[in-house]
Each structure stands twice: as C-alpha cells, then as structure tokens.
Amino acid sequence: MSAEELKQTISRAAKEKNWIVTPTANNALNASLSWRNGKHTIAVEIVCAENRYSITYQNSINMNYSDWKDEPKIHPYYNRYVKELMAAIRAALLHL
C-alpha cells in the first residue's frame, strides 16, 4: 500500500471516530478530537509511509499534560482515545 493510499484510509477511519483530520506536507496528517463542547481536546500527528504509520502526541487542552523531569504524563483518556483511533485504523486496513 502506498503512503497516499494509507493516508486516505487512515483519514476515513479517523473521521468515522469523530476526529478532525487535516493533511500536511510529507505524507502526514494532523488529527484532533474534542469533547464536552471543546472543553477537552487532544491533537496528534500521523505520519504515513509505505505500509506503516506512526501516531505522535502534538498537544492537548485540559488533559493535565506535564513533561516534568522527562517523564511525560497525561490524563488516561488520551490513551483511551488514541487506542480507539488505532483500532479503527487497523479495522479499516483489514477491510481493504
């Protein structure tokens, strides 16, 4: 699967989980998810390459993020929503 095909599949899967997806340069996507009328927001960068992708934390609002002494911490909901996104992407890839 080409990076562009992967990017399109990931974008569809993320949108199905209510993530807002914006393409960027270099086969990457910015994706964000908000809930409680925008009170909480998480944002990730998804970099696509041929047959692989990676998801990286970008920023968050009201998720108690701290990077104290090189030990990043964040509210458990961040991991929950990113895991749900990853599951949706895996499911979309399996149905190709």
| pLDDT tens profile 1-53 | 888 999 999 999 999 999 999 999 888 999 999 999 999 999 999 999 988 99
Number of domains in the chain: 1
Burial bucket for residue 54 (CB in 10 Å: 0-12, 13-18, 19+): exposed
Mode of pairing for the β-strands spanning 66-68 and 40-49: unpaired
Give the range of the structural domain holding residue 64, as residue numbers without chain letter: 3-94
Read off the CATH number of the domain in which 61 is found: 3.30.310
pTM of the model: 0.91
Q: Say what the pLDDT of residue 32 is.
A: 98
